[in-house]
Structures are given as structure tokens and as C-alpha cells.
Chains A and B, each alone.
Chain A
Amino acid sequence: MMASSYNAKEEDGHHSGSVGPGGPGTGKSKKPDNTAFKQQRLPAWQPILTAGTVLPAFFAIGLIFIPIGIGLFVTSNNIREFELDYTGVEMSSPCFNCSQTYSWNNSCRCSVPFTLEQPFESNVFMYYGLSNFYQNHRRYVKSRDDSQLNGDKRFLTNPSKECEPYRMNDKMPIAPCGAIANSLFNDTLELYYVYPNGTKTAIHLVKTDIAWWTDKHVKFRNPAGNNDNLTITFQETTNPINWHKPVYELDPTEPDNNGFINEDFIVWMRTAALPTFRKLHRIIQKKDSLTPTLPPGNYTLDIAYNYPVRSFDGRKRMILSTISWMGGKNPFLGIAYITVGSVCFFLGVVLLVIHHKYGNRSSNAEIPN
């Protein structure tokens, strides 16, 4: 009785002390249960990795990976991709003048001609790309208010502290607040096909379906109330400092594409993983199955050059790309699959040799005492 009171002793947080059912003072039979678990005799599968057992796996991986890799590589190679840097760093570049002004929204326009050597079949996706732009900088990533963007009225007028220093402007809450929204990419890109005779036709660029469906419909929402009249909804707020139009006038042509659910805005708000990134800008839809979406020939890209990147040594690109089931052009996956597959196959052969040379020896060797 006395002893048991001292039994559960404990020294400064160490989980020690007497363990086990056989503590002093228990009068019952202390014979342990003869269960498989307690006797550590649970039925078990006891696999051992030997050259013999992993051999098939190596060959299997080799045989599966190499065809997949070849498939991926071919698919990737069949993807058409065209990239155009329009930053205007060189003197000869048409956008050189525009790029010289470091200020924001100088409404400079330039047009860059280019030639597509090969036809782009099916849907063509137009991306804009930025380099040296740290969208993944911590201060930048957290500088947003998801509650505000989700249409929460409370946060519309009182945005999160995280948005600093893009939270208030002249004592008016900024909507959408934060550095990300403030730095929304605002170059306007227009694509023209130049017929051999010199006439230009604008190519229709679709601006829907460029953001995730869930973002557009769930994560981003305009504040409710005063049906459809976003002007009133946002009346107590001001637009981000760098913007020269309020959030409810982002897309003058499409009333449903305004406010927080503007797709260009949503795309921008998904911060990129790496400092060199591209974002989906427009989609050029396939017209019919006979003519390619973008036939080979001359094109012009008309740019409203608003977005300054020279200050941080950045680059701006326009990318046209077709898409396969595996996405855009990326030979990495295919090459990696082929490499890994061949390495596995090679290792399989090596192991086969080892298995034959040493396998029997090691399994039949006498165990020394």
C-alpha cells in the first residue's frame, strides 16, 4: 500500500518510472497473456530486399519508364511554342522608347512584328511572361486579404494588416488591398495577323477560362448587395495606388468580369512559384478543323506598354503555345523518364550479374560462430 504510493515517481518530466504490470503488491497471477501481439509473434510477411527480389522491379521500371518517357518526349516536341521578348532592352527594339520611362502607366504603345514558321493547330494559349519578378517574395505573397477578396464586407472597408503598406490610401481602404493587387500586370496585348499583302486582321483573343474555375466562382467573390451595381458596393473604397481605374471597371467590355472576379486579376493573384514565370493571358480558340488556329506567317503584337520592369532588370515576354494533355512544352519529364528508365534497366543488368556471381554464395555460406 505504501509502496504503491511512491511507485509513479517522475523526475523532471522524464517519462520514466516503473513500467509494466508486474509492480509490487499485485496479488493476482502475473502470468503474461499468451497473445501473439504481446509475445511479438504476430503473423507477418517478412520481405527482404535482395538482388534477386529487386531485379524484376528494376527491369519493370525500366520497361515502363522508357516508353512513357519516349511518349512524353514526342508529345513535348510536338507542341508549338513561340516566345517573344518585348521588353525593349536593345536600341533596335520597337519598345525601346517605351521601356525607357520607368514610371507607371505612361500609356506608351509599341508594336513588335514576328513570324511564325509553323502552323499552330488547335487552341493556342497566349501567355505573358515576366522574369526577375519576385512574386514569391514573402512580403509580397502575404500582402493580400483573402477575406476581402472573398467578398466579406467587414474586410472590404477594413482590410487585413498584412496589406500594409497598400492598405489605406488617403484614409480610404484600398480594395483590393495589398502589394499583389497593386502590381497587377496591365500591359494590353493585341495580336494581328499580317497578310502577305500587308493588311492586318486582329486575332480574337478570348479572356475567359484563364483562371481556375474554383477561384473564379468560389474563392473570389464580389461583396454582396446592391445587385450588380459594383460602383455602390465599392464606393467606400479606393483603387490601388498604381491602378488608374477602380476594380469595378477592370473590364469595360464585359460587366460580369469586373470587381474581384475579373479573370486577369485572379490569374495575377495566384502568385508564381519562381521569379521567372508566365501567366495565362488569353486563349485563341480553334476556328475549325481544317485551318490551323495560327497559320504560319507574319504577325504583329501591339502593346500598350504600361508595366515598368527595367528598374529591377526584369523582362517581359509574350508566349504563344499549344497545349497537349501534358501541358505546355517541357522536355524535362520525357528526358527524365527515359534517363531513369535506362538507368534502372542498366542497374537491373548489373544486379543480374551480381546475383549470379554472389547470390548463391551468400545464401549458402556457412554462418560462422
Chain B
Amino acid sequence: MCIFQDCSCLGHRCTGQENWVDSRTVYIGHKVPPPGAEAYIPQRYPDNRIVSSKYTFWNFVPKNLFEQFRRIANFYFLIIFLVQLIIDTPTSPITSGLPLFFVITVTAIKQGYEDWLRHKADNAINRCPVHVVQDGKVVCKQSRKLQVGDVVLVKEDETFPCDLILLSTSRDDGTCFVTTASLDGESSHKTYYAVQDTKAFNTEKEVDTLQATIECEQPQPDLYKFVGRISIYLDRDEPIARPLGSENLLLRGATLKNTAHIYAVAIYTGMETKMALNYQSKSQKRSAVEKSMNAYLIVYLCILISKALINTVLKYVWQADPDRDEPWYNQKTETERQRHLIRAFTDFLAFMVLFNYIIPVSMYVTVEMQKFLGSYFISWDDEMFDEELGEGALVNTSDLNEELGQVEYVFTDKTGTLTENNMEFIECCVDGHVYVPHAICNGQIMPGAASMDMIDSSPGIEGKEREELFFRAVCLCHTVQVKEEETVDGIKRGLHQGRTSSIYISSSPDEVALVEGMKRLGFTYLRLKDNHMEILNREDKMERFELLEVLNFDSVRRRMSVIVRSSSGELYLFCKGADSSIFPRIVSGKVARVQEHVEHNAVEGLRTLCVAYKKLSGEDYEEVCHHLSSARLALHDRDKKLAEAYDLIERDFILLGATAVEDRLQDKAADTIESLHKAGMKVWVLTGDKMETAAATCYASKLFRRSTQILELTTKRAEEQSLHDALFELSKTVLRQQGSMSRDTFSGLSGEFQDYGLIIDGATLSAVLKPAQEGGGGNYRDIFLEICRSCSAVLCCRMAPLQKAQIVKLIKASKEHPITLAIGDGANDVSMILEAHVGIGIMGKEGRQAARNSDYAVPKFKHLKKMLLVHGHYYYIRISELVQYFFYKNVCFIFPQFLYQFFCGFSQQPLYDTAYLTLYNISFTSLPILLYSLIEQHINADILKREPSLYRDIAKNSLLQWPVFIYWTFLGVFDAMVFFFGAFFLFDNTTFTSNGQMFGNWTFGTLVFTVLVFTVTLKLALDTHYWTWINHFVIWGSLLFYVIFSLLWGGIIWPFLNYQRMYYVFMQMLASGPAWLGIALLLVVSLLPDVLKKVLCRALWPTTTERMQTKRQCLTAEQSTIFMLSQTSSSISL
């Protein structure tokens, strides 16, 4: 809890950087700055203690109880319990107290245990030793005692104890390598830099002499954002100010790699570290089932209150006659006579208590258990295990299992989700000449692949130069690291050629592919050494370029640049990026030819990048440096200023050429999409890629078929017509088709009508979604939605991450409130994953951020098929039956009590004994439904996979619609009437024993209860389609348990109980023949309507599922005969 509170208050303080007032000043090594520089204000920061535990030993009981009773359901039961304690109620407080106590205790124990584990983990972390530099010596300290301003020594493979600013490293260039695998799952090594002015301080002694202060923002949860400034007081009075960015910030949880040791200063400690701030709870997603459950609860609450009200009113009507109210044989006590006014109210409460079991505590427990235990089946699933990754599906939240069976819209990312994100360099084009490295064989690189094929005629001398410049550009313009020998998880490519075996590592697989492609074309990138990039050219000569600046890639600019100085002293700026972001900045070069080529490649589904360069003069470079450093030094709006600076720098390019990289479709992606389509889901592809590439992928993955009529809504088109006209024209086309569709398609038979596919791009989308300005414009959104709804597939290209979330939100908020699912693998998909009803992450190559933020994570896109069609379907069937059944069985349970009030003078006399009231939901009828809701399979998993159309049968929450709910409720009422009036007529003023002795009211209740327990259990047995031995064990076992319990409960005089009302009641009942006959009769009568309904519906209006079930039965019969035949034939042949 602490974390979240902290976070929320911090969030308040730190919203937006404009609130820069809120900064902190850190004095490195707690040293007072030289006088006159600044006022030394010692600030207080929390120590480095991590508190993930919620409770302490002392506050566990009150705090845990408080939190548990904040849940509405628990609170409701607490109120019932208190009412029972306070007023004179028909049932003892034990009946509701015991289940509540049980639930509360189990939860408390579970939470206490988890908290104890957290305490243990906290202690382990808080106590682990940390090396701190104090007075020129290294001192070992416990991690929790670390304070802001301490200078920390971290050795290789150690984890950073808090958020640190790097001061110096054992490497000369002041860099260190860090893996953030435990933070965001990216196992690639990232380089962090020490500030140039401090990198020399690399011994304890030297560090201790450093006098500097750091100003930085207060802690913020964004892992990748940090702004600060370090002021170093050297000998001079005037401090040197240097900017600090995220490349200087070492985050807690990351691990130091390939660097002997570093010195760094702590700036955020304990609960203020970025990691601690990031472990906040995601907003709770609630499933549709949960919503219907809550709606039913309200209905039942109304039923409960109205029942109590009716009975209270009738009671007072009935009691109007004083001889009924207080006959001579049944006098009231004095106190009962007195309190007239509140009497009516307590009567009402007493009725509430009597009927409160209609909303059972156990339902919540069972639903929770079902979700918790049920989700294990997903992570256990063998078919969703990926050998290559060594991982299976991951369940991050079990609350949404059933939502997987309700998905109507699937939003998928393209790169890494539909495609492998396993890039392969295909070709490049320099000024229109195409180069294709040969000898590519299943992704393996053949040795000696230094030659190349030139498709076009050989270029001239000038062309040759340009060509080499292009290759150098691609070789230099990247952020690839070279890792020697060792193997690392994640992005890796072996280079088994030549002297060194090294691996290229990058956060972007495109870059690796490009650098490797260049290698095959003859230019090998060797390493970055002393700020010099070394490449091996075709003549195996080493070329060195000094790396001056890297203008990192970001998804807004969609390009990156490097500025290098060649050995001859010339300054170059190389830039590569998406065509749309490069072409507008080109001043010369063969734009038309390259563009043509780029488009051609894009249509083939290749990812293209354009490469451009410009030469910089010395002055130009000075200016660039100036722009960059001023932007980087800014504390305020640094990102905006940087973007502006980049914009200034990256212009006036000369186009060199383009590259094409192929991203292969994932295994079975097309099959999966086809299945999802058949299952009635609409699949939208949201990608940042360009239209042509994305469309090609869509065709390849069968999202668009050849027959699909494509509607385009892109910038190009919007230029020709106004957006308004375009939208209206499209909607007209679509609506015309819809009109004809509504006539003949009702059963979801596809293929008969024209299906549409829509392509829209980011720019147009934002125009469509723009809020209405001056009238008229506002309804674009609705028209757009209208069009989208009638398209079976939609492709949104050129999308920014936030736009992805916007789309999801738009669909979520549309009229039908469809259930949406977003699937993606990269950090840019996180927003949509969080936005959609169900977010699925793919454990992809672009780190694990998506998987971490998702509700479920799967290794591959193809696993979505089983996840939705099989698991989702099962979970939905299971939980809907669970919910309906629970309400049903409690109607059966409570309605007889209600009826009984009419025959006992509305005196709140319970029909059943206390033990039965208490145990009905806890033990007699709890296990069968729990087991059902865990392992029921109404139809085989293979069939579900083979026939995706079965998914349509459960679409739109069909098993929890009001008609179904009303059917169950009426079935419950009917059964309750059968039990009650059956027993009533059996008891009616006669005896049914052979010795003439009479039975009393408890026998009456026990008879009703016995029929009740058997009926509801058998009803579930009738609903079970999958009888494993566990089902047999649990169903017959719980019936047997009921009988044994009843025999025991009535079998002895219980000491310490002040009533013996059940003594021998059950045995006496069983001793009478008519009771058996009556039970059998009532069972048959109460189960008959449901069986009849099932059989008739199946015969007359079968659903697809039911047809499949019937068909399967025939098939298995056939198969078994075939099997037997083959057996005999094989035995003959032997």
C-alpha cells in the first residue's frame, strides 16, 4: 500500500516538468560547496530502505481487517453478522459469522504469508552490503543505510543499490555497460556515460576530493526520462555546469556488466527510486462477467429486500388480531411487548438475516478460487510453450480469464507480433542501383560472402564513390554494440567469420540486420573504441571514424543521425530513417528513382529505410554542437528543445539510397488471423509502418483476402477530396452493402457477401478524431465508426503509440461497447495493451515491456488462437455456469424459507437447522461447482480449435444475458416450490411412518433440505459434459458427505449445544418409506423441466456447439469401430 500512496503523492508533486521548482540538490559526498557558491541546505531524504510490505507486526490485524472490509461483499456480510449479534434474529450469528470468519481468516493468512515473504525479501535487500566511499576509504554498509549524496562503489555484476549518477568508471572513456533485464527485460547491454569532467576521478581517494552538487528533478516514475545538472567545483571558483540525462543515470535494479567497477553518487534512494515508483498497481480491469455478476447481485439484493419487506408487512397485517399476535400459549416477554416503534424495523432486519443466504459469501470465494486456480491451466499449457524462447504463456492477472472468450475486436501490432521481428537484409539501392547480397540461406550466412550481385549495370566512378559512401553510412549510422564471444539472450547474431567471433547487439533488430547486411556487402563494422568507430572496408583495410554525436532514434522523428569525423578530417552527418521523414529533407540526389524503389519494396512487404548524408564544415559543426549542448543543458522542456535542435540539424540532406529489410511473418500468423475472423472477431492491425508495407503484410497474413474490397482513407485521398466527402462516400458504399446483408445473413455465414477492408493512416485518423470545432465536424467519429463496424479488417498505419490507444478507446466507447483485445510486443504497444479490455503481450525481441504490462503474455502470435478459442471459451462457459448456478442454488435454498413464513405466522422461523444453513454453501454444494468451473469441457479442445465459428456461440456474453438469468432464477423458484409444496403435501396433516408416530418441523425442513441438496447437485451433474474421475469423486462424494454429516449431526446428543433439535431427525426420516419415495419423486419433478428444456432446445434449435457435440458423438462411435477393425486387421496381419 505504501508504494501506491507514495506514488500518488509523488505523482502530484512531479506532474510535468514545468513544476521545476520541485528539484533537489544533492551534495556529492555530503561535502559543503565552497562558500559563496550556494547556500548549503541540507535536505532530508528517505533512507535506502525498500518497503514493499504492507503491514508491520503491529498493524497487521487492524489494517488487514480494514482492507478486507472495504470490499462491498465482505462489508455486507459483516453488517448481516452485526445485525445478528445485536437484534434477536432467527438464525444464530454463527451461520453468517462462521463463513465470514473463514473467508476473512483464509484471506488474512494468505496476505499475511505474502507479506511475510515480502518482509523477508525486503530484509534481504535492505541488508545486503554496499561499498561506500567515506573519507577516502571504502566502507561496507548495509544497503538500507545508504543516503542521498553517498558515493558508492559498484563492482562488476553487482546490482545498483539505488538510483545513481555515474561519476567515473574503470574504463578510460568513462562508460560502463549495464543490463536492465530485471527492469524492462531488455537483456542487451546499454552504455552509460560519466560526465566528462568527473570521469578522471576513478580511485577512492580521488573521488573523495571531488566537490560537486547535482541538481535534479524530484523522483519520477518514467524510467527513460531524467534531467539534471551537475556543478563541479574545481579549483576555480566558478563551477562547471554539465547536463545530466538518462544516459548518466544508473537505475536501481540494473546490473553492471563488462566494467570492473564504477563510482557513482546516490540521488534517489529507497522508495523514491524509479524502480520502486514503477511498481504501482495497474488500473484494475474488470471483466464483463464481473459486471453482469454485479448486476445480478443488485437484482438479488432487490429480491431480498422486497422479500423482507413483503414478509414484514404481511406479518403486521396478520398480527393485527391480538390473538394471533400473542395467543395464550405463546406470550411475549415484557421487553418484547415494549419496543413497538423499532420492532417493525428489527423485524425487517430479521427477515433480511433469514433470507441473506440468497447472496452467498461463498460465491465470491469460489469465483476468486476459480480464477486463481483456473489460470494455471494457461501457464501449464504445453501447446503454448515455445521451445525457442523456453517460455510458456504467462498470466499476470487472473481476473480476466473469461474475458478471453468474449473478444470482439483484436488490435494487433504488426512488427514482432504478426511478423517475426527477425530482420533479414534483402537488398539496398544506391541511386537506383540495386545490390543484393547473395548466399542467404535460411537466415544463415554463408562464409565468404564478401561479394555481391549487382542487378543493374555497374555504376561509374562517381557512382562507385557514392556507393561506398552509402555503405559507410549504413555502417556508421547506428547504435549497434559489438559483443565479443559470449552469448546473450535477446538479439544476437553470430559472426563466425574472420578472426573474431562477435555478436551485434542492438535494441533495434533493423540495425543489426543492416550492419550484418553491410558485412556481407564487404563493409564490416568492428567496434567502437575510444570514441572511434572502426570499420573494415572491402580491401580489408581498417577505417576509423571519430564519433562526434549520436542523434538517437525516436518514434516521432522516425530517424536517427550520427556525426562522424573521418580520418581525413572531413565531417559527415549520416542519417537514416523512414522515407516519409527523410524525403522532405532532401535537397539533392536521385529522389524519384529511390522513391520508386522504396515503394516497390514496400509493396512486397519489406521494411525500407532511406539513407542520406550531408557534409558539415567546421562552422556548421560548431553550430550543431551549440544547438545540441544548449538543448541538452536545459532543465526545462529538454525534450522539446532537443527535438527542435534535431529538426534544425537534420535537414538539407543528400539522398544516398535505401535499404530493404524483410520481416518474415510469424509461424501460422495467417492461420490464426483466419481463425479469428471465422470466430467472428474483427482484426485491426495498428502499425507504425508505412501503408504499402503494412498492406502487404496484411495480404500475406490473410487479413485482407483477394476478394476483400479495400477502402482507403489516407492522406493521399484526403488531399483529393475533403475528408468530409471521403467519409460520406465510404459510408454510402458500406451501408448499401449492409442493407443487402441484413436480409440474408443471420447465421454468420461468411463468404456470401462482399467483405470490406479499410486502410487508414495516422494523420487522417487524427483528423477524423479531432473534436468538433465549429459544428458539423463532430459526427465524423460516428461515420468513421459506422464504416469500421462493417469492415471485417482494418489496417491503421503510421500510428503513434498513443494513437493506438486512442483507437482502442474509440472502439471501446462505441455503442455496443465491444470487448477489445490488444496484442503487441513492443514498448509502443503498452498504451494500447493497457487500454484494451484484455492486453496480451508477446515475449518478443523488443524487450519485455509489453509482456510486463500485459494481462497475459504469450511467446508467439499463433498462441492467441488457443488462448481465445480454447481457453477463453472454456473459461467463459465455466464461469458463466458458476455464476448462474450459484444464484440458482441459493434461490432453491432460500425460497422455501420464504414460503415457510406464510405457514408459521411470519415469525422468521427458519426452515432448516443452523448447521444446514451454515454448511449448505460452504461444504455440501461448494466443491462440485468449483470443480466444474475448473475442468468442465463442454466440447473437445481440438474441435474448438478446428471450428473457430463455435466462438460465436458465446459472443456478446450470451450465457449471462437477462433471459438466461431469468430462466435460471425461475428454474430455482420452480424447484423451490416443488421442494416446499412436495414436503408440504407429504406432511399435510398425516403421518408417513409405519408406526404412526409424527414428525415435527425439523423433519419437514430436513426433508426439504435433503431434496434440495440432491437436486442442485444432480442438476450440476446433468450440466457436466466432462466426467473425469475427479468429477465422480466430488459429486458423489459431496452427496455422501451430506448423508454422513447428517447421520453424525443427528446421531449424538451434542455437548455444549443448548439445543438438540436435530437429534435422530435424519434417521427417523430415512426410516420411513414414503420419505424415500417422496425424495425420489421430488427429485424427478424438479429436474424434469431442465432436462426437457435441454433436450428440446438441442433437438429443435441446436446451436453450432450442440451440433458439433452430437456430430462428435457419432464420429467417436465410428472411430471406435474403425479402431476395432484396424485392430483386428493388424492382428490378422501379424
Return chain B residues, CB-CB under 8 Å to A349.
none
A68 within 8 A of B: yes
Q: How long is the Cα–Cα vector from A356 to B1098 in the complex, in angstroms?
A: 14
Interface string of B1064-1087 (1 = CB under 8 A from A): 100110001110011001001100
Q: A167 CB to closest chain B CB, in angstroms?
A: 9
Known A29-B390, A51-B1099, A61-B1084: A273·B1027 in contact at CB below 8 Å:
no
B1120 within 8 A of A: no
Q: Contact check: which of A39, A145, A209, A336 meets B381 at CB < 8 Å?
A: A39
Stretch of B431-439, B753-761, B979-987 contacting A (4+ beta carbons < 8 Å): B979-987
Return chain B residues, CB-CB under 8 Å to A18.
394-396
Q: Contact check: which of A3, A34, A219 meets B253 at CB < 8 Å?
A: A3
A171 within 8 A of B: no
Stretch of A130-138, A192-200, A222-230 contacting B (4+ beta carbons < 8 Å): A130-138
B990 with A329: CB separation less than 8 A: yes
A327 with B993: CB separation less than 8 A: yes
Known A1-B125, A48-B1110, A136-B903: A14·B68 in contact at CB below 8 Å:
no
A179 within 8 A of B: yes
Stretch of A92-100, A106-114, A288-296, A308-316 contacting B (4+ beta carbons < 8 Å): A308-316
B816 within 8 A of A: no
B1077 with A337: CB separation less than 8 A: yes
Q: How long is the Cα–Cα vector from A74 to B715 in the complex, in angstroms?
A: 89
B330 with A34: CB separation less than 8 A: no
B398 with A140: CB separation less than 8 A: no
Known A50-B1095, A272-B998: A13·B107 in contact at CB below 8 Å:
yes
Known A32-B392, A48-B1109, A332-B985: A362·B1058 in contact at CB below 8 Å:
no
Q: How long is the Cα–Cα vector from A125 to B331 in the complex, in angstroms?
A: 32
Q: How long is the Cα–Cα vector from A234 to B543 in the complex, in angstroms?
A: 118
Which residues of B156-189 are within 8 A (CB) of A? 159, 182, 185
Q: How long is the Cα–Cα vector from A275 to B609 in the complex, in angstroms?
A: 91
Q: How long is the Cα–Cα vector from A15 to B371 in the complex, in angstroms?
A: 9
Q: A159 CB to closest chain B CB, in angstroms?
A: 11
Q: A54 CB to closest chain B CB, in angstroms?
A: 5
B121 with A354: CB separation less than 8 A: no
A89 within 8 A of B: no
Q: Contact check: which of A50, A134, A308, A344 meets B330 at CB < 8 Å?
A: A134
Interface string of B970-1009 (1 = CB under 8 A from A): 0000000000001011111111111111111101110000
Q: How long is the Cα–Cα vector from A17 to B751 in the complex, in angstroms?
A: 43
Which chain A residue has the least Cβ–Cβ distance from B1025?
Answer: A46
Return chain B residues, CB-CB under 8 Å to A160.
1058
A40 with B1072: CB separation less than 8 A: no
Dominant secondary structure of chain A at its interface with chain B: loop
Known A2-B253, A51-B1095, A147-B1058: A326·B905 in contact at CB below 8 Å:
no
A91 within 8 A of B: no
Known A14-B284, A20-B375, A141-B909: A34·B382 in contact at CB below 8 Å:
yes
Which chain B residue has the least Cβ–Cβ distance from A21?
Answer: B379
Q: How long is the Cα–Cα vector from A212 to B1068 in the complex, in angstroms?
A: 9
Interface string of B379-399 (1 = CB under 8 A from A): 111100100001111111111
B989 with A277: CB separation less than 8 A: yes
Q: How long is the Cα–Cα vector from A269 to B284 in the complex, in angstroms?
A: 57
Return chain B residues, CB-CB under 8 Å to A141.
909, 1001
Return chain A residues, CB-CB under 8 Å to B1110.
48, 50, 362-363
A10 within 8 A of B: yes
Which chain A residue has the least Cβ–Cβ distance from B908?
Answer: A138
B385 with A32: CB separation less than 8 A: yes
Which chain A residue has the least Cβ–Cβ distance from B994?
Answer: A325
B68 with A358: CB separation less than 8 A: no
Known A10-B54, A15-B372, A160-B1058: A137·B332 in contact at CB below 8 Å:
no
Interface centre among A141, A165, A267 (most CB of B within 10 A): A141
Q: How long is the Cα–Cα vector from A127 to B993 in the complex, in angstroms?
A: 14
A16 with B1091: CB separation less than 8 A: no
Interface string of B484-511 (1 = CB under 8 A from A): 0000000000000000000000000000
Return chain A residues, CB-CB under 8 Å to B751.
369
B182 with A24: CB separation less than 8 A: yes
Which residues of A281-331 are within 8 A (CB) of B? 283, 308, 311-313, 321, 323-330
A330 with B992: CB separation less than 8 A: yes
Return chain B residues, CB-CB under 8 Å to A146.
1058-1061
A137 with B905: CB separation less than 8 A: yes
B935 with A214: CB separation less than 8 A: no
Return chain B residues, CB-CB under 8 Å to A272.
998, 1000-1001
B1098 with A51: CB separation less than 8 A: yes
Which residues of B1089-1134 are within 8 A (CB) of A? 1091-1092, 1094-1096, 1098-1100, 1102, 1104, 1106-1111, 1113-1114
Return chain A residues, CB-CB under 8 Å to B874.
40
Q: Contact check: which of A21, A68, A278, A359 meets B989 at CB < 8 Å?
A: A278
B453 within 8 A of A: no
B1028 within 8 A of A: yes
Q: A223 CB to closest chain B CB, in angstroms?
A: 15
Q: For the side of the interface on A, what is the size category?
A: 35 or more
A11 within 8 A of B: yes
B1063 within 8 A of A: yes
Return chain B residues, CB-CB under 8 Å to A332.
985-986, 988
Return chain A residues, CB-CB under 8 Å to B1022.
49
Q: How long is the Cα–Cα vector from A32 to B957 in the complex, in angstroms?
A: 31
B1108 with A367: CB separation less than 8 A: yes
Q: B953 CB to closest chain A CB, in angstroms?
A: 12
Q: How long is the Cα–Cα vector from A270 to B1001 in the complex, in angstroms?
A: 8
Q: How long is the Cα–Cα vector from A333 to B1004 in the complex, in angstroms?
A: 16
B67 within 8 A of A: yes
Q: B139 CB to closest chain A CB, in angstroms?
A: 23
Q: How long is the Cα–Cα vector from A132 to B66 in the complex, in angstroms?
A: 49
B328 within 8 A of A: yes
B565 within 8 A of A: no
Which chain A residue has the least Cβ–Cβ distance from B399?
Answer: A16
Q: How long is the Cα–Cα vector from A312 to B74 in the complex, in angstroms?
A: 44
Return chain A residues, CB-CB under 8 Å to B379.
19-22, 32
Q: How long is the Cα–Cα vector from A283 to B1073 in the complex, in angstroms?
A: 21
Which residues of B314-362 are within 8 A (CB) of A? 323-324, 327-334, 336
B904 with A137: CB separation less than 8 A: yes
Q: How long is the Cα–Cα vector from A38 to B998 in the complex, in angstroms?
A: 53
A129 with B989: CB separation less than 8 A: yes
B136 within 8 A of A: no
A212 with B997: CB separation less than 8 A: yes
A136 with B71: CB separation less than 8 A: no
Which chain A residue has the least Cβ–Cβ distance from B113?
Answer: A8
A340 with B380: CB separation less than 8 A: no
Interface centre among A49, A104, A129, A327 (most CB of B within 10 A): A327
Q: Contact check: which of B279, B371, B1029, B1094 meets A9 at CB < 8 Å?
A: B279
A137 with B330: CB separation less than 8 A: yes
Q: B161 CB to closest chain A CB, in angstroms?
A: 10
A10 with B1001: CB separation less than 8 A: no
B118 within 8 A of A: yes
Q: How long is the Cα–Cα vector from A309 to B1061 in the complex, in angstroms?
A: 27
A138 with B909: CB separation less than 8 A: yes
Known A31-B385, A362-B1098: A140·B380 in contact at CB below 8 Å:
no
Q: Contact check: which of B324, B399, B1003 meets A273 at CB < 8 Å?
A: B1003
Which residues of B927-951 are within 8 A (CB) of A? 935, 937, 940-941, 947, 949
Q: How long is the Cα–Cα vector from A143 to B326 in the complex, in angstroms?
A: 14
B750 within 8 A of A: yes
Q: How long is the Cα–Cα vector from A162 to B1074 in the complex, in angstroms?
A: 35
Interface string of B518-546 (1 = CB under 8 A from A): 00000000000000000000000000000
B748 within 8 A of A: yes
16 CB contacts below 8 A, A to B, read A1-B182, A3-B253, A13-B68, A20-B393, A32-B379, A48-B1098, A125-B996, A134-B905, A137-B905, A139-B907, A179-B331, A218-B1064, A274-B903, A276-B989, A330-B988, A354-B1096
5 other A-B residue contacts (CB within 8 Å) besides A43-B1028, A351-B1099, A363-B1113:
A2-B252, A10-B114, A12-B67, A212-B1064, A218-B1053
